[in-house]
Structure 1
Amino acid sequence: MTRSRSLTLEDQRAFGLKVLNGLICLFIPLVGLAAFLNKGPWLGLSLAVAGLAGASLLVSRAGGAAARLTVGVALMGAVSLLVAAFAGAPWQVDMHMAYFAALATLIVFCDWRAIVAGAGTVAVHHLVLSFVLPAAVFPGGGDIGRVLVHAVILVIEAAVLVWAALRILQMFATSTAAVAEAQAARQAAEGATHAVEESRAAEAIAAQERLDLQQSVDQERKAVVEGLATGLDKLAHGVLTYRISQAFTPQYEALRRDFNSAAERLQDALGVISQAATNMSGGAGEISQAADNLSRRTEQQAAGLEETAAALDEVTATVRKSAEGAKEAAEVVARSRLDAQKAGQVVGDAVQAMSEIEKSSEQITQIIGVIDEIAFQTNLLALNAGVEAARAGDAGRGFAVVASEVRALAQRSADAAKEIKGLISASSQQVAQGVGLVGQTGEALQRIVAQVAEIDGLVREIAAGAQEQATGLHEVNTAVNDMDRVTQQNAAMVEETTAASHALASEARLLADSVARFDIGTVGSKATPGRRAA
C-alpha cells in the first residue's frame, strides 16, 4: 500500500531556494538586455548579477538560515541592478515595483529573517545611493520625500509579510504535530491489527480446549446439581435429618460438606428453638397470669390514690381559706395598730395643749396681779386727789367728784381682778386635773398600741403558718396527683404488658407449631441448655 509523503517546512524552504536562485539567474540576461537598450554598462551590470547569483548558489548548497538570508539579499541586489540598468529612462521609477514583488516572493521561505534581510538591503540601497549615486535610484537625481514614501510602503509590506510568515510557521507546526499524531495512530492501529490476528488464532485453539473442558465440567456439575437438588428438596419438605452421602469431585466436595454441616446446624438450631418455644410458652403463661394480678392491684391502688387526692384537694381548699382569713385578720390588726398610734399622737398633742393652757393661766394670773396693783395705786391716787380737792374747797369739787369716780372704778377693777384671779385659779386646777387625765389616757393608749403590736405579730405568724401549711398541702396535693397520674399510666402500661404477654404466649404456641412441622429427629443434649435457660 503506497502512502503519499507530507510536505514539511524544510521541503518548502528547499523548494524556495531553487525557485529564487532560478529567479536571480533570470535577472542576468534581463539586466544585460535592459542596460544594452538604455545604452548603459550592460556587461558590468550583467557580471554583477552573475556574481550575486553565483554567491547565492554557493551558499545555498549548505542550506539553513544563512542560505535563506543570502538569497534574500542577492535577490534585492539583483532588483537594484535592474533599476540601475534603467538609469535615465522613464521606466526607472516603475522598476521600483520589482522591489515589492521580489520582497513578496521571499514569503516562500516562511522565514521572517529572510524578509527582514531583504527589506534592510533595499533600505540601505535607497538611503546610501540617494546621496552617493542618485541616478542609479531615481531618474533626475535623489528625492528624500520619494525615498521616505518608498520606505514607508516597504516597511508596511515587510511587516505584513513577517506576520504572514509567522502564521505559516504556526500552521506548519500544527500540521507537523497532527501528521506525527496520525502516523503514531496508524502504527498503533497496525500493531493492534496484528495483535488481533494473533489473538484470533489463540482464541480458536482455546475454544476447542474450553469445549472439552466444558463437557467434563458439565458432567461433574450435573452430579453436583442432582445431589444438591435432592438435599434441598428434603429441606424444603422439612426433613432436616437428610445428608448427602455420595462424594463429589474435589472442587465440589467443600460444597457437599458445607451443605451437610448447614443441615446439621439447622437441625440443632431448630431443636433448641423447639425446646425454647415450649419453655417460652410456659413462661409466657406465668407472665400473663402475674400481669393480670398486677393489673388488678394497680387498678385498686389507682382508685385509692384518686380518693386520697380528692380528700387532699378538700383539705387544701380549707387550709387555703383559713390562710386567707388569717391574712385578712393580720391586715385588720395592722390597720388598728396604725389607728392606735395615731390616737396616741393625738393624746400627746392634747397633753401638750393643756400644758400650754396651764402656762397661759399662770401668765394671766401675773397680769391680773399687775392690774390689782394698778387698781390699788389708782385708788391711792384718787384718795390723794380727794384730799387735795377738799383742801381746794369749792374750786376742787369737780375734781373731787372725778377722784371719787376714779376711786370707785379702781375699786371695781380690783374686785373684778380678784374674781378673775379666783376663776383662773379654779381653771388652773381643772386644767391640771385634765392634764393628769390626758396623761393617763396617753399611757393607756401606749399600752394599747404595744398590745396591738403584739397581737399583730401573733396574727402575722398565724397567717404565715397558715400560708406555709397551704403551700405544703398544695405540694402534697400536687405530688399525690402526680402519683395518681403515674399510677394511671402504670395501670395502662400493665394492661399493655398483659396484652403483650398474651400475644407472646400466642406467638410461642405458633412458633412451637411451626417447628413441629420439621423432622429434626430426637432432641439431643444440645437442647438442655435451652431448658435450663428457660
Structure 2
Amino acid sequence: MSIAVTSLDSQRQFGGKVVEGASWLMVVIVVAARLLLQGPVLGLALAALVAAAATTLAHRTAGTNSTGRSLMGVALMAQVSLLVAALNGHGWQIDMHMAYFAALALLVVFCDWRVIAAAAAAVAVHHLVLSFMLPQAVFPGSASLGRVIVHAAILIVEAGALIATTFSINAMFDSANKARAEAEKAVEDAHAAHSAAENARRSEESVRAETAQTEAFNEMQHTEAVEAIAKGLEHLAKGDLTVRLSTRFSEAYEALRADFNAAAERVQAALMDISVTTRAVSAGADEIAHASDDLSMRTEQQAASLQQTTSALEDITATVRKTAAGAKEASDVVAKARTDAQRSGEIVDQAVAAMTQIEGSSTQVGQIIGVIDEIAFQTNLLALNAGVEAARAGEAGRGFAVVAQEVRALAQRSADAAREIKTLISTSTQQVGAGVALVGQTGEALQRIVGQVASIDTLVNQIAASANAQSAGLQEVNTAMNKMDQVVQQNAAMVEEATAATHALKGEAGQLAAQVSRFKVSDGTMAAHTEASPQPRQRPAVMARPGRSSAAAAVKEEWQEF
C-alpha cells in the first residue's frame, strides 16, 4: 500500500496514525512480556491501556499542534518504560532499553523537533527518578550512576541526530512547497499565455481576409520589380556594367531600383579605378622585378667576394697560427740555450777557481824550490869546509875529502836541478796566470752571452705573445666574417625570395588586368587589358661555400617559413 505525502501537514497526520497504532501494539507487547515471566499482569496492563488511550485522545483532539504531538511522544516513551518494567529480573530487561532508541526514531515521522526533545526528556526523567527510587524497574540487579550517565549520553547523541534530521526534513518540505508554488504559478502563466494566443489567432484570421487583396496587389508589384532586376542582373552577369533600370517601380520598390542603379555605377567606377590601378601596379611590379634582379645579382657578387675574403682570412689566420707556434718553439729553444749558458758560466767560474788554486800551488812550489836551493848552497858550503879540513888532516883525511867532494858535487847538481825546476815553475806560473785571465775573460763572455740570451728570450716571448694575440684577433675576425657570410647568404636567399614574389606579383597583376578586361565599363569600350609582363630573366645561383650547403638550405627554409 503506497501513501502519498504531499505536504508537511499530511506527513504529520500520517505520523500520528503510525504512533497511535504503535501505542496500541505496545499494550499487547507489554502484556505478552509480563505473561512470559508469569508475573502479575493487571497493573501493567491497565497502565499500558491508559497510555494508549492518552495517545489516541491526544491524536484526536490536539494532534495538529506541537503540544498534542509531544504528549503522544511522551505516552509512547511511557509504554516503553512499562515494557522495561515488565521484564523485571529477566536478562532481556537491559536489552529492552534499545526500544527507547527505536521509539525515538519512530517519532521522526512527525518532523517536529519538539516531540523528540519532549520524549528524550521523559526518558531522562524516568531513568534519573526510578534509578534511585525503583531501580529494579529500570536495570536488572541494581542501578548505578555510571549506567545512567552512559544511557543519558547515548540518548543525547541520538536525540541530537534525530533533531537535526527533523530540521533537514522540514527544510526539504519547505523547498518542495516553494517549488510547488512556483510550478502552480507557472501553470497559471501558461494558461494565461494560451488564452492570449487564442485571442491573437482569432484576430489574425479576421485581419488575414482584409489583407488578401493588398497582398495580391503587392505580389504583382513585386513580380514586376523582380523581373526588371533579374534582367539587369543578367546583363551584370555578362560583364555589362553600363546597364541601368530606367522604368520606374512602385513606391515600395523604387528605392530598390535606385539602389541597383547606384550599385552598378559604383561597381563601374570601381572597376575603372581598378583597371587604372592594375596598370600602375603592373608597371611598378615590373620596375620592382628589374630592381630585385639587379639587387640579387649584386648580392650574389657580394656573397662571392665575401666568400673569397673569408677564405683568404682563414689562410692568413692559419699562417699567423703557425708563426705563433714557431715563435713558441723558438722561445722554448732560447730558454733552453739560456739555461745551458747559465750552466756553462757556472762551469767556467769553477774552472777559474781551479786555475787560481793551481796558481797558488805553483807559487808554493816555487817557494819550496827556493828552500831546496838554499839547502844545496849550505850543503856545498859544508862540503867545501869539510874538504878544507880533510886537506889539513893529510893522508888521514883523504877519504873524508873524497866524500866531501861527492857531497859537494851532489849539492851542486841539486842546486842546478832546483834552478831548472824553479825556471819551469816560473814559466808554468806565467802560463797558469795567462790561462786564469783567459778563463776569466771566457766567464765574462759567457755572462754577456747569458744576458743577451735572456734578452732574446724576452723578445721571443713578446713575439710569441704578440703572435698569439694576432692569432686570437684574426680568429675573432674570421668568426665575424663567417657570420657576415651567413648573413649575406641569408640576404641573398631573402632577395631571391623577394624577386620570386615580385615576379609572382607581376603575374597576378596580369591576371587581374585580364579579369578586369572582361567587364564593359563604357559604351563600346572594354576595360584596358594590361599586357603580359615579360618573363623574369635568369639569375645565377648563389655561390655556396664548401661545407655550407646545409646552412644555406636551413636559411632558405627559415626564410620560407617567414
Q: TM-score, normalised by structure 2?
A: 0.55
Aligned to 2:518: 517
Q: Which has the higher contact order (CA 8 A, sep 6+)?
A: 1
Structure 2 unmatched runs, 5+: 26-39, 529-562
Deviation, structure 1 residue 187? 2.0
8 Å CA contact 1:298, 1:487 repeated in 2 = yes
1:188 match:
185
Q: Report the equivalent of 2:278.
A: 277
CA deviations 1:488-522 (Å, max 9, x no partner) are: 88887777666655554444333222211111228
Closer, same or farther in 2 for the Cα pair 1:409/1:170, shift >3 Å? same
Counterpart selection for 1:8 from 3, 7, 10: 10
State the alpha-carbon separation in 1 of the partners of residues 79 and 318 from structure 2: 139
Residue 36 of structure 2: aligned partner: none
CA pair 198-368 structure 1, distance change in 2 beyond 3 A:
same
CA–CA distance in structure 2, aligned partners of residues 490 and 419 of structure 1: 102
Deviation at 1:190, TM superposition (A): 3.6
Name 2:426's counterpart in structure 1: 425
Q: Is the 8 A contact 1:292 1:498 kept in 2?
A: yes
Larger Rg: 1
Question: Which residue of 166, 175, 195 maps to 1:198?
Answer: 195
Moved more, 384-393 or 256-265: 384-393
Contact kept in structure 1, 2:376 and 2:415, CA below 8 Å:
yes
The question of whether the paired residues in 1 share the 8 Å contact of 2:377 and 2:411 is answered with yes
Counterpart of 1:8 in 2: which secondary structure?
helix
Alignment of 1:112 with 2:109, yes or no, is no
**1:259-274 to 2 correspondences below 5 Å:** 259-274=260-275
Equivalent residue letter for 1:371: I
- Secondary structure of the 1:520 match is strand
Partner of 1:508: 509
How much identity, in percent, do the aligned residues show?
45
Instruction: Determine the structure 2 residue equivalent to 1:84.
Output: none
Report if aligned partners of 1:379, 1:411 keep a CA contact under 8 Å in 2.
Answer: yes
Say if 1:316 and 1:470, in contact at 8 Å, map to a contact too. Answer: no
- Greater displacement, 347-356 / 317-326: 317-326
In structure 2, how many angstroms separate the alpha carbons of the residues matched to 1:392 and 1:456? 89
Name the structure where helix makes up a greater proportion of residues.
1
Please say if residues 302 and 484 of structure 1, whose CA atoms lie closer than 8 Å, have aligned partners that are also in contact. no
Distance 2:277 2:370 in 1: 132
Gaps in structure 1 of 5+ consecutive residues = 24-37, 82-90, 132-136, 528-534
More displaced stretch, 109-118 vs 469-478: 469-478
Contact 1:333/1:452 (CA < 8 Å) preserved in 2?
Answer: no
Asked if structure 1 preserves the Cα contact closer than 8 Å seen for 2:380 and 2:407, the reply is yes
User: 1:387-419 CA deviation, whole Å, 9 max, x = no partner?
Assistant: 788899999999887766655544433322211
State the one-letter code of the partner of 1:414.
A
TM alignment of 1:112-511, pairs within 5 A: 112-113=116-117, 115-116=119-120, 119=123, 148=143, 173=170, 176-177=173-174, 180=177, 183-184=180-181, 187-188=184-185, 190-205=187-202, 207-208=204-205, 209=207, 212=211, 215=215, 225-226=226-227, 228-244=229-245, 259-286=260-287, 305=305, 334=334, 338=338, 350-380=351-381, 408-438=409-439, 503-511=504-512
**Residue in 1 that maps onto 2:33:** none
After superposition, the C-alpha distances for 1:133-176 in whole angstroms (9 at most, x for unaligned) are: xxxx99xxxx9966759x99xx79x9699799869957974784
Change (3 A) 1:391 1:12: farther
Shift of 1:118: 5.6
CA contact (8 A) 1:72 1:118 kept: no
> Structure 1 254/346 Cα, relative in aligned 2: closer, same or farther at 3 Å?
farther
What is the letter of the counterpart of residue 366 of structure 1? Q
2:127 and 2:372 map into 1 onto residues whose CA distance is: 158
Alpha-carbon distance change, 297 to 4 in structure 1, aligned in 2, over 3 angstroms: closer
Cα distance in structure 1, aligned partners of 2:521 and 2:443? 112
Matching residue's letter, 2:365:
I
Task: Name whichever of 478-487 and 197-206 sits farther off.
Answer: 478-487
Aligned 8 A contact 1:351 1:439 in 2:
yes
Given that 1:312 and 1:477 are in contact with CA atoms closer than 8 Å, whether structure 2 keeps it comes out as no
1:184-232 CA distance string (max 9 Å, x none): 3662354144134314314414654579499477667656655554444
Instruction: State how many pairs are aligned.
Output: 483
Structure-1 separation of matches of 2:89 and 2:358: 155
2-structure distance, mates of 1:118, 1:332: 116
Which residue of 2 is the match for residue 28 of structure 1?
A: none
Amino acid at match of 1:8: S
Kindly provide the amino acid, as one letter, of the partner of residue 191 in structure 1.
Answer: E
